[in-house]
Amino acid sequence: MASGTTAPPPPASLPRVVAASLIGTTIEWYDYFLYGSAAALVFGRVFFPESDPLTGTLLSFLTYAIGFVARPVGAVVFGHYGDRLGRKKLLVISLLMMGLSTALIGCVPGYHTIGVAAPLLLTTLRLIQGFALGGEWGGAVLLVSEHGEARRRGFWASWPQGGAPAGNLIAVGVLSLMTTVLSDDAFDSWGWRVPFLLSAVLVMIGLWIRLSVDESPLFKEALAAAERRKAEQWAERPPLVAVVRDHWRDILVAMGARMAENISYYVITAFVLTYCVEHLKIDKQTSLNAVLIGSAVQFCLIPLFGALSDRVGRKPVYLVGAVGVGLWSWAFFALLDTRSFPALVVAVTVGLIFHSAMYAPQAAFFSELFATRMRYTGASIGAQLSSVAAGAPAPLIATALLGSYGNSTPISVYVGLAALITVVAVLAARETRGRDLAAIEPGDGAAARTTADRRTAAST
């Protein structure tokens, strides 16, 4: 394991790395969220036309959820090779996979054209999307975290997190534009395909920028140390085996911390479209505009919450978001039920503000839990395993609860329970703010201490 504090990169290097990570994650999240929005608005009619509207939406969200199942697999594969070969190489592969699968979704014929093959093709491409995204998040945030200094890591590492609201902003914005300029029949026929095909252009731009950055100096140092150990015939465990053995508590912390963050986000940004359009009979344009405004506000707030976590710690900021989103879930649906556009905007925006308090420090927080040679694997697995239990079924469960009970109360309870799990997980973790990433050894994190911590303890 590399030791000592890694020298900060040249001043011009970090902003370039941040820009490359932000643009890359924005494009990948655009692709991913575009599917969620389209599932809520149109996929039920295009790919499941023989079902009633609510059942068609439920089936669409089922294909949406399947993508989450592939995310842990992508986390393991990309994490393994990212920890062995480097972050940059794997990020280029994930971007290409995501862009190609998204563009192909825009080419899949509807059910009336090729029958059951249509939803099968859609599901296959969604699985590829999930596999790619499972490897994207960990690599992007680590590339920034490992380039920057500990004092401002929360701020800089939060920028790739801004790719989620930025991607959602672009996805919803393009769909909103298409629903404005096209009739419902034209949108259902071909208009929804345009945003998916646009992904091919965006990926080329993102690929050009991502290829311009260098590998993280911290990883290079750790790789050199591993090569020296190999030359001395020291056996090195595969990253997956090592992280499960040495950081299993940290994986559980990361999974628990993601529950409220993941569930609340997909309820606020994806299920809200179903709730407003199908249940409240609010037109698509109004619903999309509310999410559009909320996503714009969230994009601006994420770096601020990241900077705040550098000052007061990761845990206090995260806990405010978890408690806030659990309580806000009750007001959220009450505001939606007014059918007032300003109330819709307030409901979505405040919900995303609380979500930002969790999402912004998450990149630095998870990076600071794991040792360098297993960091990509550990952070990715911790984040993506929880997505199977949290983000994947969230719109599906919310839609099923709405169909069974006819009101939002069970959904608010669902979000509140997720918030409780997250509060417990974050309270169980150690504060990680200011850690030297090069000094974290296997077994550090929620259950142990860094090299510097142990030296301090030994001297007192």
At 360-417, the pLDDT tens digits run 999 899 988 888 778 888 888 888 888 888 877 888 899 889 988 989 999 999 999 9
According to the model, what pLDDT value does residue 457 have? 37
Question: Any long-range contacts for 176-185 (C-beta under 8 Å, 24+ apart)?
Answer: 176/285, 176/288, 176/289, 176/292, 179/41, 179/284, 179/285, 179/288, 180/285
User: Using CA atoms in the order 348, 144, 126, 254, what is the torsion angle rounded to 10 degrees?
Assistant: -70
Q: Evaluate if residue 422 carries a pLDDT over 60.
A: yes
Rg (CA), the chain: 22
Three-state SS across 294-315? HHHHHHHHHHHHHHHHHHHCHH
Cβ–Cβ contacts within 10 Å for residue 359, how many?
27
According to the model, what pLDDT value does residue 37 have? 77
For residue 214, give the nearest of 381, 352, 355, 92 by alpha carbon: 92
The one-character DSSP state at 103 is: H
Q: Say which range, 95-104, 283-292, 370-379, has the weakest mean pLDDT.
A: 370-379
Q: Say which range, 218-222, 293-297, 326-330, has the weakest mean pLDDT.
A: 218-222
Q: Tell me the longest C-alpha to C-alpha distance in the chain.
A: 75
Q: What share of the chain is helix, strand, coil (3-state, %, to 5)?
A: 80, 0, 20
According to the model, what pLDDT value does residue 310 have? 95
- The pLDDT > 90 percentage for the chain reads 28
Q: Evaluate if residue 54 carries a pLDDT over 80.
A: no
With 0-12 / 13-18 / 19 or more C-beta atoms within 10 angstroms meaning exposed / middle / buried, residue 234 is: exposed
Q: Say which range, 226-240, 329-343, 392-406, has the weakest mean pLDDT.
A: 226-240
For residue 318, give the nearest of 303, 327, 308 by alpha carbon: 308
pLDDT tens-digit profile of 270-284?
A: 889 889 988 899 988
Q: Evaluate if residue 145 carries a pLDDT over 70.
A: yes
- Residue 266 in contact with residue 395, Cβ under 8 Å? yes
The one-character DSSP state at 7 is: P
Buried b (16+ CB within 10 A) or exposed e, 18-53: bbbbbbbbbbbbbbbbbbbbbbbbbbbbbbbeeeee
- Residue 98 in contact with residue 210, Cβ under 8 Å? no
According to the model, what pLDDT value does residue 460 have? 36
According to the model, what pLDDT value does residue 274 have? 85
Q: What are phi and psi of 313, to 5 degrees?
A: 110, 155
For residue 141, give the nearest of 37, 21, 51, 228 by alpha carbon: 21
- In angstroms, the CA 43 to CA 368 distance is 40
Confidence of residue 330 (pLDDT cuts 50, 70, 90): very high
- In angstroms, the CA 291 to CA 276 distance is 11
- Mean per-residue pLDDT for 429-453? 64
Q: Evaluate if residue 452 carries a pLDDT over 70.
A: no
Q: List, in sequence order, the alpha helices (H) in 86-110.
A: 87-105
- Mean per-residue pLDDT for 85-96? 81
With 0-12 / 13-18 / 19 or more C-beta atoms within 10 angstroms meaning exposed / middle / buried, residue 227 is: exposed
With 0-12 / 13-18 / 19 or more C-beta atoms within 10 angstroms meaning exposed / middle / buried, residue 301 is: buried
Question: Any long-range contacts for 406-409 (C-beta under 8 Å, 24+ apart)?
Answer: 408/275, 408/333, 408/336, 408/337
- In angstroms, the CA 132 to CA 70 distance is 8
- Mean per-residue pLDDT for 409-429? 96
What contacts 282, CB < 8 A, 6 or more positions away?
276, 339, 344
- Mean per-residue pLDDT for 283-304? 91
How far does the chain reach from its first CA to its final CA, in angstroms?
25
**Which comes out higher in pLDDT, residue 65 or 262?**
262
According to the model, what pLDDT value does residue 11 have? 43
User: Using CA atoms in the order 140, 366, 296, 64, what is the torsion angle rounded to 10 degrees?
Assistant: 80
- In angstroms, the CA 423 to CA 259 distance is 10
Q: Evaluate if residue 421 carries a pLDDT over 80.
A: yes
- Residue 388 in contact with residue 75, Cβ under 8 Å? no
- In angstroms, the CA 220 to CA 14 distance is 16
With 0-12 / 13-18 / 19 or more C-beta atoms within 10 angstroms meaning exposed / middle / buried, residue 237 is: middle
Confidence of residue 222 (pLDDT cuts 50, 70, 90): low
Average pLDDT, the chain: 82
According to the model, what pLDDT value does residue 233 have? 54
- Mean per-residue pLDDT for 413-425? 96
